[in-house]
A and B are shown apart, each in its own frame.
Chain A
Amino acid sequence: MKAGAAVAVVAAAISFCAGAGAAAFGTLPSPTDPIRSEPPLAVQQSVVTERRFPSNLRGRERVRVGVDRHGRPVRIVVLDTLEILGKGDYTFGVPGPIEDVAASPGSDSTPGLRSNAVIWQGFSPGRRLLGAIVTLRAGDSAAALPLRVEIHSAHERTELVLRNDTRTEASALVARVPRQPLAAALDAARHALVHGEPVTAQVVPLSGPASNVRTAVSVPLEVRGRANFERGTARIAGTVTGHALTVTGRGKLTGIELEVRIPDPVSFLTPPGRSWRTARTNLTTLAASRRLLTAALASQYQAYLANPDPAGRTASSYEYRLAKAQAAVSNRPSHSKTPWLPLGAAFAFGLAAVGALVLWAHS
């Protein structure tokens, strides 16, 4: 909201300056600044205060989503791997709506758990692989998933609908800008993304009036896998964009195996030739802004759980499976009161009382 307001102010100032004939500049979106609140998953309060590591953290995440027979996520587990390449102490937390955590096979260390955080602490002798199997509270995490699954059954047929859930709106610059600075800005943003360097919002000179528009942004999702129905299997391979991908099968849905890949953010800034400066394509500020915003959104979905290193790179992939009935229940021991224990006790007590009454009557 604040960012949008700031852009509006900048746009207004730009319009004013342009109208007055002064040298004016506009600001393009940054391909790394978040444009929606999640992902990475955020929490209100985390108890981790210290953050230290000897080198950048490289992250890899496999997000495994179990959906129920309606398609609702009921179990979300992340295989989160962080790699430290450097010698020294490390101590940090990975925030999120964490329900439970365990070390993954091959991890050089064991993670700790606090309210809303996975804790890592130790010494890296040069390289440390930190692997965690993180179980999330599905209710608090599902909204940040990229793909929504819907399952509709009727008349011996089942429809599996896959919807892109990454759509959001963001402010984009609409202005007349000389081609070269605009192309240079795109090239610079791409170069920075490729090399993992921080990218700030870039300023371009305006050659006419400017305005600020809200534009829809979404990340195309590459989906592969299959859906198993009682009578037949449907193979799925395609890109889910604004339109839902629908698969219909005969009988009930018995299983799904979907792999969802988020495109590399760099791919949205790849020029048709060697560079944007040398490319012979028409380039507008709106198109450039959309590319930058899509890259920013793709960067967000590359880290479902936050990388504690703001300069660290993370790549995430997502898997969707049909959860078994029991998987819908949390695997953590629940402290909620179950009615069965007191009911059972009451029943046993009643039975004993009747028995005692019968014995007494026959004595």
Chain B
Amino acid sequence: MRRTGAFLAAVAIIAAGCGHQASSGTPKTLTIVVDAPFSRSPYIGNTIANGVRLAADQLNAQGLTAGRTRFQLRVLRLDNALSPVKAVADTRRALREHAVAIVTDGTGVNATWQLANSEHLPICIAYQGGETLVDPERRPNVFRIAPTDHGLVFRLAEYLVPKRLKIALLTDDSDYGQEGRAALAHAFSTPPKAVAARITLPTSASDLAPQILQARRSGATALLVWAQAPVLAKAIVAARSSGWRVPVYTTPAGEDPIVRQQLADHPGWVDGLTFASGRMTAELGPAPWSAFQAAYQAAYGATFVGVKSHGRRVIAPPDYAMYSYDFVNVLIAAIQRAAGTDQRNVLAALNQVSARGANGDERGFNEHNHDGVVDDDVYFARFKDMIYGPVKDDPLSATLPVIQQTQ
């Protein structure tokens, strides 16, 4: 009896040893670091982190294997507070944690990419669109899934120039505004007659009336504001409070809840604000996006803007969460293609794989382009009653549905 038991135990041990690693033992933990401005721009930080977390939870639930190894994803949130110095420290921490990727808003990437690249650690930017941030040749480990500044200005010029407007280009003095200023200078260099003035908005100013007056005196018939959300709100306040009903165009900053919160006392001032951003839905229709939005809201609740439209509470669609969500799926496709987590192989595989994105489109990078949002995907939306919908006078935007924004 004892012999039989010992024999069975030996057989069990051998059988266990012969089994694939994938079918036994605890899964190996892969850490994805989210380095975002949680303290300074919580909306952006949380949106990026929630997108990563949602993808990680879904993938963990499915069960992850690469090669013969089972994996489980862990998300580590680090606050860069919009500080490049903190971003560098966070990158060192990510290396110590043997992270498989860093997902960031873009803060400090100019300082962190080399550090990360020394270990072939991929960085994905999920918010900032600066042209110089991503360069597949010089910065092989930097990727981005977010509308690029190049795409935004290219599409803004394509949309605005035929309208024969005299545009005042207003940029703030933040890094974001200065990146935009450079991009705008390039895009609007060919039709100089379209530009009435180029004006810098001080982020620290409490009142932008002087700059708005300067724009008005330049003969501008439209404002294109490339600034952080609070500065944009102040620019609109300055224009509307002086009785100037000039059309205002802007970047994705226009959909930031801060703009509507700061203009909550004058909802009519938001009407007509038009912004360029990455489209949420693909040609396949809104179903994949709606499924993503539902999953996001089920996990984290709706993001309430803090204003009402026709008596209903306005919510912010998780469009930027879609980008960080998509990156995690592309990253896992790369790990699976690389059949493991060898960072050099994963980095190479990121150039070769695609994954089905939250909106149903394929998302991926290639050897020449580390931007996962193509310029053509930039659309225009206009506010009315505190919610926005795609414009009808742009070929792409006219094909897109209105996304539910009230609850």
Contacts and interface: CB of A to CB of B under 8 A. Distances in A.
A126 B394 CA distance: 12
Contact of B396 (A119, A121, A125): A125
A47 B283 contact: no
Contact of A122 (B354, B365, B376, B399): B376
A123 B354 contact: no
A269 interface: no
B377 A114 contact: no
A119 B372 CA distance: 12
Contacts, number: 53
B351 interface: yes
B374 interface: yes
B151 to A, nearest CB: 10
A111 B376 CA distance: 13
Interface stretch (A69-77, A83-91, A184-192): A83-91
A50 B362 CA distance: 7
The interface residues of chain B, by DSSP majority, are classed as loop
B218 interface: no
Nearest to A93: B366
B164 interface: no
Interface in B314-370: 351-354, 361-362, 365-369
A91 B362 contact: yes
A87 B398 CA distance: 11
A101 B395 contact: no
A278 B316 CA distance: 71
Contact of B352 (A50, A114, A122): A114
A126 B395 CA distance: 8
Contacts of A89: 282-283, 361
A17 B346 CA distance: 61
A119 B364 CA distance: 11
B374 A121 contact: yes
B407 to A, nearest CB: 30
- Counting contact residues on chain A (CB < 8 A from B), the size range is 20 to 34
B276 to A, nearest CB: 14
Nearest to B366: A112
A28 B395 CA distance: 46
B120 to A, nearest CB: 16
Interface string A100-126: 010000000111111100010111011
B362 A87 contact: no
A50 B366 contact: no
B369 A123 contact: no
Interface in A52-94: 52, 87-89, 91
With most chain A CB atoms within 10 A of its CB, the pick from B369, B376, B395 is B376
B366 A114 contact: yes
A334 interface: no
A50 B351 CA distance: 16
A338 interface: no
B354 A49 contact: yes
Given A47-B352, A87-B395, A115-B352, A122 B374 contact: yes
A88 B283 contact: yes
B256 interface: no
Contact of A114 (B362, B367, B375, B396): B367
Interface in B376-407: 376-377, 395-396, 399
A92 to B, nearest CB: 10
A280 B276 CA distance: 66
Nearest to B369: A112
Contacts of B283: 52, 88-89
A88 B376 CA distance: 11
A119 B369 CA distance: 10
A114 B395 contact: no
A89 B285 CA distance: 12
Contact of B368 (A49, A87, A111, A123): A111
A91 to B, nearest CB: 6
Interface of A: 47, 49-50, 52, 87-89, 91, 101, 109-115, 119, 121-123, 125-126
18 contacts: A47-B353, A47-B354, A89-B282, A89-B361, A109-B375, A110-B368, A110-B369, A112-B365, A113-B366, A113-B367, A114-B367, A119-B366, A122-B374, A122-B375, A123-B374, A123-B395, A125-B395, A125-B396
Given A47-B353, A91-B362, 8 more contacts: A52-B283, A87-B395, A88-B283, A112-B366, A114-B351, A114-B352, A119-B366, A125-B395
